Amino acid sequence: MINNIIFDKIINLIDKNKISSVEVADSLNKTGVLNDLRSLNPGKFVVGKVKYIYTYNESNWPLHEQIENIEENCILYIDAFECNNRALFGDIVSKVLMLYKRSRALVIDGFLRDAHRLRKENYPIWLKGVTPLGCFNKKVSLPDNIKYKMEERKKIFDDSIMVCDDSGCTVITKENINENFYKKLEFIELQEDIWYYCVDTLKWSTFETICLKNYLKDDNVLPKILKDKLEEYQQVK
């Protein structure tokens, strides 16, 4: 069971310091990135709890059913199974989700339509792409093979934490929502500060800084505040 205190602590740290999806992926040992998803509207940064819904077989009927009682103030991750690159929905559903259901962002493992309206409204949306071709609004039965995939994916995404920005989306799964990962995030921020100091102030090369890490070999290189913080987090793996 997730500790709500550390859950909120991680979200607050990422939000306060605007820790990017890149830095979060680095803290996860280069994992957690959702492939092929890009921001529809640039300049957005969102972090929050994830709620998972899905649709399938070229129909958005299951999606409409699930959003009836969707939890507010969450990043909504929407899966598409066998929808064959059809748009899951467009402007009307997006408006309902963003304004009336108060979703923090929409992350769609598929396509949307009404791109002109979605861009005009400047919604925080991450997706595979846009298309004029929509799904059908028809009631469909859930096949066993899709049900199995959905249940496995829901275990991963539901109640996870996601960070979305111009680089893409990175998910922090439940097994990583702990104090140790919080320390990793603090460390990755410190490492970025040290690297920029070495490159910008000391005029070191990126090879000296990032590969050789020469700042670890000379106690007199870093300012005291960076040196003290580095010693504090030296054991973070």
Q: What residue ranges do the domains of the chain occupy? A: 4-172, 179-233
Q: Are residues 108 and 123 in contact, defined by beta-carbon separation less than 8 angstroms?
A: no
Largest CA distance in the chain: 69
pLDDT of residue 235: 62
pLDDT of residue 236: 57
pLDDT of residue 237: 54
pLDDT of residue 124: 98
Dihedrals phi, psi of 137, to nearest 5 degrees: -95, 75
Distance CA 148, CA 20 (A): 32
Strands 129-130 and 125-127: unpaired
Strands 38-39 and 105-109: unpaired
Distance CA 178, CA 170 (A): 17
Q: What is the pLDDT along the chain (237 residues), one digit of tens a residue?
A: 678 899 999 999 999 999 999 999 999 999 999 999 999 999 999 999 999 999 999 999 999 999 999 999 999 999 999 999 999 999 999 999 999 999 999 999 999 999 999 999 999 999 999 999 999 999 999 999 999 999 999 999 999 999 999 999 999 999 999 999 999 999 999 999 999 999 999 999 999 999 999 999 988 899 988 888 888 776 655
Which class in CATH covers the domain with range 4-172?
Answer: alpha beta
Q: Are residues 129 and 103 in contact, defined by beta-carbon separation less than 8 angstroms?
A: no
> What six digits make up the tokens of 7?
């859950």
pLDDT of residue 146: 96
